[in-house]
């Protein structure tokens, strides 16, 4: 966000274009710094589809991992499974659009 000087999509373009992104921690939050709450990947202010599109645009071939997943139904595994499924769906959609 603004406190970082650039948004996430601009940063992906800049650093990814230089080959400097090797691992992405995928999480979403309710608002930019300084006041935010971590939330589920599909429920924050960042459009994760646009993030995955930008990663595809720089030909990212590194690791994408779920990060800071909220507890769901008193079971962290449920939230993790949901997040991984959502990420896989985004990857598939972007791959289908670019092939």
> Measuring CA to CA, which residue among 50, 55, 40 is closest to residue 85?
40
The candidate with the shortest Cα–Cα distance to 23, out of 63, 76, 58, 72, is 63
- Residues 6 or more apart whose CB falls under 8 angstroms from that of 1 comprise 7, 8, 32, 33
pTM above 0.85? yes
Dump pLDDT digits (tens) for 7-21: 899 999 999 999 999
Token output for 22: 């090797």
Alpha-carbon Rg of the chain, whole angstroms?
14
- Fold of the CATH domain 2-98: TIM Barrel (3.20.20)
Q: Tens digits of per-residue pLDDT, 16-69?
A: 999 999 999 999 999 988 899 999 999 999 999 999 999 999 999 999 999 999
| pLDDT average, residue stretch 66-92 | 91
């Amino acid at each position: 966000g603004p406190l970082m000087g650039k948004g996430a999509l601009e940063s992906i373009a800049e650093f990814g274009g230089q080959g400097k992104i090797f691992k992405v921690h995928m999480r979403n939050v309710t608002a930019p710094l300084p006041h935010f709450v971590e939330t589920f990947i599909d429920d924050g202010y960042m459009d994760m589809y646009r993030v995955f599109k930008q990663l595809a645009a720089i030909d990212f071939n590194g690791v994408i991992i779920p990060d800071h997943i909220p507890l769901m139904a008193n079971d962290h595994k449920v939230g993790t499974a949901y997040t991984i499924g959502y990420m896989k769906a985004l990857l598939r959609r972007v791959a289908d659009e670019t092939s």
